[in-house]
Structure 1
Amino acid sequence: MKIIVNAEQRDVSGCTLAKALEELDFISTAIATALNGCFVPREQHAETTLSEGDRLEVLAPMQGG
């Protein structure tokens, strides 16, 4: 299915957020996700289903100063 990931259209075969993140190589536990503008806690990734055209934002912490 086609979804938008960080403003870029991507094809994923996973039907849950957890499977899509793994497929897209977002494997760090230090990421935050929002699906269609709503924050999704890590504990809910496995049960959160995706649909064609969903918008996923994946953010990772940055270090520096």
Structure 2
Amino acid sequence: MRGDEKVIVNGKNMEFDGDISVKDLLSHMNVDEDVVVVEVDFEILPKDSYETHILDESSRVEIVAFVGGG
């Protein structure tokens, strides 16, 4: 991404300065990457690519958290 770009995360626009990786996004949102699954453009990303997968203004991100209960 260049300048102020918007990424759609869970259906909401989020704006960032410059490039942001999935790992950076999760950190920015205070989300523990060990308890979520991240889907970018309808594909589930392997956790080992969170640091290297760079998002752009066309990225559509869904973050799904695991919830325990019973």
Q: Same fold (TM over 0.5)?
A: yes
The normalised TM-score by structure 1 is 0.85
Q: Which runs of 5+ in 2 are unaligned?
A: none
Q: For 1:1-59, what per-residue CA distance to the aligned partner results, in whole angstroms no more than 9, with x for missing partners?
A: 21111111111345211111111221241110000110001111001011113110001
Q: CA RMSD in A?
A: 1.4
| Structure-2 separation of matches of 1:12 and 1:42 | 22
3-state SS in 2 of match to 1:12: strand
State whether residues 26 and 33 of structure 2, in contact with CA within 8 Å, keep that contact through their aligned partners in structure 1.
no
Find out whether 1:6 has 2:10 as its counterpart.
Answer: yes
List structure 1 runs of 4+ shifted beyond 2 angstroms. none
The structure richer in strand per residue is: 2
Q: Which runs of 5+ in 1 are unaligned?
A: none
Q: Radius of gyration: which is bigger? A: 2
| Structure-2 separation of matches of 1:28 and 1:50 | 16
The normalised TM-score by structure 2 is 0.80
Percent identity of equivalent pairs:
20
Find out whether 1:64 has 2:69 as its counterpart.
Answer: yes
* Aligned residues between the structures: 65
| Structure-2 separation of matches of 1:52 and 1:63 | 33
